[in-house]
A and B are shown apart, each in its own frame.
Chain A
């Protein structure tokens, strides 16, 4: 095999991938293959937990696509998610399910575009505040719309899609998110995003349309969250605004992504798996202490592991390398 140097990295010419990327891809494929076997082993509690983990993996990873490099903390996940759910709930009688998924993606992207244009020119505080209230705002509007136009505030979602199908669909979506993330990281868009995350002024003076880049990425992230909501709608037979637009979802997504490490594509999933398991335990054993636990998780992130598990790993790996080179 011919090799040559450029970009300071060793590349294999025929695929244009580094050895590390290739190993990463192979590991990814193996993990996904193993994960897809779960419904054949367990269809009860295990599968239900699997759906939850797959859902948070998709949401946290797509959240980190935008928030990782830009450091804008988005709390809009619940808004996109709920909207996606309502697209399915409201359109099921008119369109087939796959079309609704596409519509959800479009609606999520458009909403993200509007939010982005209104807030991403400004400092991060404005963005956080805006997204913090967004889910609540949409919930109020949906509730109001449904009660004034119709009679009840909920919608029936009657499909023959079972939990197994939902799980597999989520896995496919997760694979898609990783591919997008991988592609963005090696594209000009990803490079622009990293420059913006370092210094927005330098980015602008290097010719980057910073607002456009941020809005585009936020649209990708919002669209994926909306699709996730759409895919999960059949899990409930009856959806209500309080379920669809639960603000807790946004916070959990932020915590999981940050605990894992939002600056790497593989970071969030490392936070999702342990946190989802712990969270499941807490909500079962101490349903009244969830807020307290969330608070402690936030403080842990800020004061103990500011770069997540991945950051910790990288730190000790660097130390190990120094030690190894010395020995």
Chain B
């Protein structure tokens, strides 16, 4: 029971970070390998705002999200757009963007190391017990989960009900056709990249409430987000959310039943099974 609830609580934050990556990959077609660093940057911002100014990490999202949006929008304009323009094929764009975002991720790690040093960071915020069905859980995990759920829900609603959301979905289904019906694809891609980054950084702010982090831990989150997005089916948000919970549960189960050192192994085990038997993802349609 413990495992299920803690796993669910973790899955909520994972869902948020994976949705950020999915927006970037689905709409802007950039597999952003610096995604995890953006998350850690969000964590650092929340940490800094909490310890420096005593504002709640939840409130810090109000500052973190717009900043992350601006930063990612700029990254897209400066680094990614030239690659999209010069790419002769999708394969070339893929290789270029992988290498470029790797570069960005290392630079971000380097900058965060320079700013904060290599130590582990954590802070205590709302570390009070909260009872669910007779068992006590940390309140900060529950708050983080609730806000993740709210953000995920509003993002889902926004994608499905608004004009910009419709634009994003159109570009993600077929960028060329979207261009033909008058959608400004480069603008949509830049916006989606920015919003994706903002979502991920907010996930980082929420995760920092109960996880210990350091400047170079981002790559682990990148891998988890990638695994979730691919397993859930690249263009399907429901799949992403479901898999995020599955992963949260699997990790918690492995950590508490076998060994806490094997969490990534758990994610990979799921990944291999999906790759072997349903490479288009759990909810993805087989591509033509």
Q: Do chains A and B touch in the complex (CB under 8 A)?
A: yes
Q: Which residues of A contact B (CB under 8 A)?
A: 71, 73, 118-119, 121-126, 128-130, 132-134, 136-137, 140-141, 143-144, 148, 247, 251, 258, 288-299, 301-303, 306
CB of B112, distance to nearest CB on chain A (Å): 9
Chain A residue nearest to B223 in the complex (CB)? A133
Does B66 reach chain A (CB closer than 8 Å)?
no
* Additional pairs, 14, CB under 8 Å, beyond known A133-B267, A298-B103: A71-B92, A73-B99, A123-B94, A128-B31, A140-B265, A288-B114, A291-B107, A292-B107, A292-B111, A295-B102, A295-B103, A295-B104, A301-B103, A302-B100
Q: For B103, B230, B262, B276, which residue has the most chain A Cβ atoms within 10 angstroms?
A: B103
Taking CB atoms and an 8 Å cut-off, the chain B residues in 48-94 that contact chain A are 79, 82-83, 91-92, 94
Residues of A within 8 A of B265 (CB): 137, 140-141, 144
Are B268 and A137 interface neighbours, CB within 8 A?
Answer: yes
Per a CB cutoff under 8 Å, which of B82, B100, B226 touches A298?
A: B100
Complex A-B, nearest 3 residue pairs according to Cβ-Cβ distance, in ascending order: A292-B110, A298-B103, A295-B106
Residue of B nearest to A121 (CB): B279
Query: How many interface residues does chain B have, given as a range?
Result: 35 or more
Selected A-B contacts with CB under 8 Å, 27 pairs:
A71-B91, A122-B279, A124-B91, A124-B95, A125-B98, A130-B271, A132-B33, A132-B223, A133-B267, A134-B268, A136-B220, A144-B258, A144-B262, A290-B110, A291-B216, A292-B111, A293-B110, A295-B102, A295-B104, A295-B105, A297-B103, A298-B99, A298-B102, A299-B104, A301-B103, A302-B96, A302-B99
Interface centre among B82, B107, B230 (most CB of A within 10 A): B107
Q: How far is the CA of A302 from the CA of B17 in the complex (A)?
A: 27
B275 touches A122 (CB 8 A): yes
B134 within 8 A of A: no
Q: Is B45 engaged at the interface, CB distance under 8 Å to the other chain?
A: no
Q: State which of B99, B107, B109, B264 has its C-beta within 8 Å of the C-beta of A136.
A: B264
Query: Which B118-176 residues sit within 8 Å CB-CB of chain A?
Result: 118
- Chain B residues whose CB sits within 8 angstroms of the CB of A128 once the complex forms: 31, 33, 98
Task: Write out the residue numbers on chain B whose beta carbons fall within 8 Å of the beta carbon of A121.
Answer: 279
Question: In this complex, which of A121, A258, A289, A295 has the most chain B Cβ atoms within 10 angstroms of its Cβ?
Answer: A295
Closest Cβ neighbor of A200 among chain B residues: B91
In the complex with contacts A125-B94, A128-B98, A129-B230, A296-B264 CB distance below 8 A: no
Bound complex: CA A288 to CA B91 (Å): 34
If A118-B276, A137-B264, A144-B262 touch, whether A295 touches B99 (CB-CB below 8 Å) is: no
B113 and A291: CB pair below 8 A?
A: yes
Q: Which residue of A lies closest to B269 (CB)?
A: A137
Q: Does B261 contact A (CB under 8 A)?
A: yes
Rounded to whole angstroms, the CA-CA distance of A234 and B9 in the bound complex is 46
- CB pair A298–B106 under 8 Å, yes or no, is yes
B216 and chain A: residue at smallest CB distance:
A291
Report A-chain residues with C-beta under 8 Å of the C-beta of B258.
Answer: 144
Alpha-carbon distance between A296 and B275 when the two chains are bound, in angstroms: 33
Contacts of B18 in A (CB 8 A): none
B272 within 8 A of partner (CB): yes
Contact, CB under 8 Å: A129 / B223: yes
How far does the alpha carbon of A306 sit from the alpha carbon of B96 in the complex, in Å? 9
Task: Decide: B95 and A71 in contact? CB cutoff 8 A.
Answer: yes
How far is it, in angstroms, between the C-alpha of A133 and the C-alpha of B265 when the chains are bound?
9
Q: How far is the CB of A307 from chain B (nearest CB, A)?
A: 12
| In the complex, residue of chain A having the shortest beta-carbon distance to the beta carbon of B86 | A306
**How far, in Å, is B281 (CB) from chain A's closest CB?**
11
If A291-B216, A292-B114 touch, whether A126 touches B275 (CB-CB below 8 Å) is yes
Give the residues in chain B near A258, CB-CB below 8 Å.
99
- The yes or no answer to B259 lying at the interface (CB within 8 A) is yes
A109 smallest CB distance to B (angstroms): 19
Per the bound structure, the CA–CA distance linking A290 and B107 in Å amounts to 9
Question: Which residues of the other chain, A, contact B95 by a CB distance below 8 angstroms?
Answer: 71, 73, 124
Q: Is the CB of A301 within 8 A of B268?
A: no
Name the distance in Å between B102's Cβ and chain A's nearest Cβ: 5
Contact A143 B107 (CB under 8 A): no
Residue of B nearest to A294 (CB): B106
Chain A CB within 8 A of B227 CB: yes
